Structure 1
Amino acid sequence: MGLNTLFKALGDDTRREILRRLARGDMAAGEIAAAFDLSWPTISHHLNVLKEAGLVQDEKKGQYVIYSLNTTVFQDIAGWLFDMLGIITERQPARKGGVKDGK
């Protein structure tokens, strides 16, 4: 998973809403499409972007395609965010004039 692909996927309201719905439980592609006032090709595009980013996975069950969250990617995202927060809190504030420790 590349971060650019991941953030591109998360940067769209419709895709974030699909993720919110999948967080409540797995859904068939048709159920996802029925929840939006969008064409099937548009929903299919959004699902493909989410799959490419690794945020969702799909499984064929009979005539249905069932989508679910890929929780491993969300754990990776959380880890990355915690790492970034640690780096930010470890940074020393800039000092005026380059003077350190009052010298």
Structure 2
Amino acid sequence: MTDLCTEIEKLGKGIGNASRYRLVQALLNGPKTVSELVKLTGFSQPLVSQHLRTLKECELVSDERKGQEVEYQVNSEYMLMLLKSLSESVQKDKHKPSE
């Protein structure tokens, strides 16, 4: 359970900020470069880069170099693992006898 709590804490840190949440939402539609995210959100380039760094640290997004550009995308494997763990934890709690 502690591992799950740590992962949920990372998720909260990642999308607990409205600007980072908007970036994740934009990336749900497919990979984007920093400049594309700047245009979509209206955020400054330094702010987008800073938030993407935090999202990478939280493992919510990953990046891939494409020529001179870097594309960012939602780390779907991590998100699926987290959602599965959370679902399993909820199911265990449902079937626990009440104390």
Band the TM-score falls in, shorter-chain normalisation? 0.7 to 0.9
Question: What is the TM-score of this pair, normalised by structure 2?
Answer: 0.81
Which consecutive unaligned segments of at least 5 residues does structure 2 have? none
Quick one: percent identity of the two aligned structures? 28
2:71 and 2:57 map into 1 onto residues whose CA distance is 16
Please give the per-residue CA displacement for 1:13-58, whole angstroms capped at 9, x wherever unaligned: 2222211221111111100111223222111111011111111111
What is the count of residue pairs matched by the alignment? Answer: 94
Partner of 2:76: 71
2:18 aligned residue: 13
RMSD: 1.8
Structure 2 counterpart of 1:12, one-letter code: N
Which segment is superposed worse, 85-94 or 16-25?
85-94
For residues 44-63 of structure 1, what are the structure 2 equivalents within 5 Å? 44-63=49-68
Could you tell me which amino acid in structure 2 is paired with residue 87 of structure 1? K
Deviations 1:54-88 (A, max 9, x none): 11111121221111111111111111211221122
Q: Which has the larger radius of gyration?
A: 1
Unaligned runs of 5+ in 1: 95-103
